[in-house]
Amino acid sequence: MELTVAMLLILLNLASWCVLSEGRLLVDMTLVSDASSIGAFCLDGSLPAYHLHRGFGDGASNWLLQFEGGGWCNDIQSCLDRAKTKHGSSLYMNKLEDFNGILSNDASLNPDFYNWNRVKLRYCDGGSFSGDAKFDNGTSVLYFRGQKIWEAIILDLLPKGLGNADKALLSGCSAGGLSSFLQCENFYRALPTNTSVKCLSDAGFFLDERDITLNYTMRTFFENLVSLQGIEKNLDKNCTSFLDNPKLCMFPQYFLNYMTTPFFILNTAYDVYQFHHALVPPSADMNGDWKRCKLSIASCTPQQLDILQGWSLLWHQPSWIFSLVFSYYII
């Protein structure tokens, strides 16, 4: 019995490996050459980039844009470090990008979007495509121009067919899922009124909640990010005019109710990033009591499981469910 299961697993692994290796789709990078005219640069001053794979058949006039994810940098040192990586400079990006998952062109793996025009927006600003500032102290320069990068890529794609799209979907995962929240209304505004525009966030619903020592670790992190990268002026205006602390409008929970574009939210209640960095950040676990639990849920104590359960219930706040229900549309 166990042997059969093991063999089945091996076969499944083999099968998926074959599909992946046969169906591997590598897509060339496009540098946005006009980006410099609006001051859109990666952290290090290099040009921003995207990868476009053209649609075909009945998907030829539909567009799927996906924000790349990859955390944030919220102080000068971490941004200087990031500027020397593929998440801060197009000089270090792989020029061929593997299009899989929702970007795949294989109908059996990606039945809904395989023949759409599919675009991956490379992430090199460290501020979820929302900043607009510059650091220059005479010896070091950093460009916090995520908002400009977003605008430059849209301007580049509009004449390539995005401007005549029938359906358009903006998506992203993690920090890219947050970008999808932050830019969704702008995406809607950038497209003709007869285009069907929707947005999707995968693991981008970052919560403004206290960690296990009752410290607002994630809030402090985002406040520093918003300040450093000049993000506040690009946040939802209804939200920033309503809240005493406008920087909190970086958190989707505060501006979700002002969004009018159909939005699909996908987020696990036990999101590993938020468990490890928001609920139990290293600063809240100096003794390492959570180390084993973080490595494997099966090693958590009953008390730790209770805390995790409580965290997952935060997602069930009535006001959010209300807006979530009204935001759920199928493409």
Q: Which residues bind ligand NAG (CB under 6 A)?
A: 76, 137-140, 166, 192, 194-195, 213, 215, 217, 220, 238, 258, 260, 283
Helix (H) or strand (E) run with residue 81 in it = helix 76-82
CB of 194 to ligand NAG, least distance (A): 4
Using CB atoms within 10 Å of the CB of residue 25, give its burial: 0 to 12 exposed, 13 to 18 middle, 19+ buried: middle
CA distance 158 to 282: 44
Cβ(206)–Cβ(226) below 8 Å: no
CB of 185 to ligand NAG, least distance (A): 9
Q: Return the number of the residue (36 or 196) whose C-beta is nearest ligand NAG.
A: 196
CB of 112 to ligand NAG, least distance (A): 18
CB of 237 to ligand NAG, least distance (A): 7
Tally of CA atoms within 13 A in the half-sphere of 191 that contains its CB: 25
Q: Return the number of the residue (4 or 77) whose C-beta is nearest ligand NAG.
A: 77
CB of 61 to ligand NAG, least distance (A): 7
Q: Return the number of the residue (108 or 194) whose C-beta is nearest ligand NAG.
A: 194
Q: Return the number of the residue (148 or 219) whose C-beta is nearest ligand NAG.
A: 219
Q: For residue 48, give the nearest of 143, 119, 159, 122 by alpha carbon.
A: 122
Measured CA to CA in angstroms, residue 177 lies from 63, 65, 70, 130, 199 at distances of 17, 12, 10, 12, 10
Q: Return the number of the residue (194 or 287) whose C-beta is nearest ligand NAG.
A: 194
CB of 141 to ligand NAG, least distance (A): 9
CA angle 180, 87, 114 (to 5 degrees): 50
Helix (H) or strand (E) run with residue 311 in it = helix 302-313
255 three-class SS = helix
CB atoms within 10 A of CB 63: 27
Q: For residue 205, give the nearest of 329, 323, 109, 125 by alpha carbon.
A: 323
CB of 277 to ligand NAG, least distance (A): 10
Q: Return the number of the residue (222 or 311) whose C-beta is nearest ligand NAG.
A: 222
Q: Return the number of the residue (2 or 136) whose C-beta is nearest ligand NAG.
A: 136
Sequential DSSP letters for 261-282: S-EEEE--TT-HHHIIIIIS-G
